[in-house]
Amino acid sequence: MLPLLVLSEYSLVNTPPVIPALSPIVPPVPRARLTSENRRRQLLENAVALFSKHGFSGTRTKDIAAACGVSEGILFRHFATKEDLYHAILDTHEAVAGKEKWLSDMQAMADRRDDLGFIKCLLGQILKSFREDTEFHRMMLYAGLEGHSLPGLFHERSGSRVLEFLRNYVVLRQREGAFPKGDADALVMLLASPAMQYATGKYIFGIKTVSRPDKEVADEFAKFLMTALHPSGKSSKKSSKRKHS
């Protein structure tokens, strides 16, 4: 209700009250539409985030679409099937991990028979992957617990190649007498296990038992492993000449 008119005692004239001017209505600025590439990236990021929090059984395609503010139709336009989505997730992970550069560095150390450098590089890469792509590893843990196909797909696409590379080096060093005889696959697991265990505890379960940078932890693990591989103190490059003989 408007206030009553004010009667002036001097002029006996009704003076209307001063009514402040209304602020102009400014229409909302329309949100810029994402490019196709950016929308695809957004869908992938939200898919991994939801899978890592709720697992695969607790995440529906409509949940992924809703997290991006789009319809399921937009999701299926980018990923026609769930398998397409899973392959795209693995593509992104491989790009972030820098697998090819890492394998190239590992091959250079293998050529030099630099066992300590080889092991440090392996452990460092595992810790780096968990540190920089924690959601991916949490998602993979869910996938394994739920019997999902993603771990098998990951092994088929990437894991088997890495394991074969590591196994070939272990077998070579066993033949050259630098590594102890025994099951090569078990030795590969031994080399990777300290970093896998430590990274899972630290980045997946939040258990921080060591307050040191990851690089120092990897270096320490590598020294312990080298002691186990070379208990007599033999040089890690002892048999390098055999390569050229």
Q: Which two tokens stand for residue 221?
A: 């693990």
- 109 lies in the same domain as 213: yes
**Domains contained in the chain, number:** 2
Q: Which is nearest to 200 in space by CA: 121, 122, 141, 125?
A: 141
pLDDT of residue 209: 82
Per-residue pLDDT reduced to its tens digit, 2-47: 444 444 444 444 555 555 555 566 555 455 677 989 999 999 999 9
- 223 lies in the same domain as 154: yes
- 76 lies in the same domain as 169: no
- 142 lies in the same domain as 228: yes
Q: Which is nearest to 176 in space by CA: 238, 89, 101, 122?
A: 238
Of 222 and 98, more confident: 222
Q: Which two tokens stand for residue 1?
A: 């209700």
CATH number at residue 61: 1.10.10.60
**Which domain does 175 fall in, by range?**
97-232
Query: What's the whole-number mean pLDDT along residues 82-103?
Result: 91
Per-residue pLDDT reduced to its tens digit, 209-240: 888 999 999 999 999 999 999 866 554 454 44
pLDDT of residue 241: 46
Residue 187 in domain: yes
Residue 163 in domain: yes
**Neighbour count for residue 118 (Cβ, 10 Å):** 24
Query: What's the whole-number mean pLDDT along residues 104-121?
Result: 97
Residue 4 in domain: no
Tokens 């398998």, located at residue: 83
Residue 211 in domain: yes
pLDDT of residue 80: 94
Q: Which two tokens stand for residue 138?
A: 């949490």
Phi then psi for residue 38, to 5 deg, are: -70, -35
Query: What's the whole-number mean pLDDT along residues 175-195?
Result: 96
Query: What's the whole-number mean pLDDT along residues 195-201?
Result: 96
- 175 lies in the same domain as 217: yes
Of 199 and 232, more confident: 199
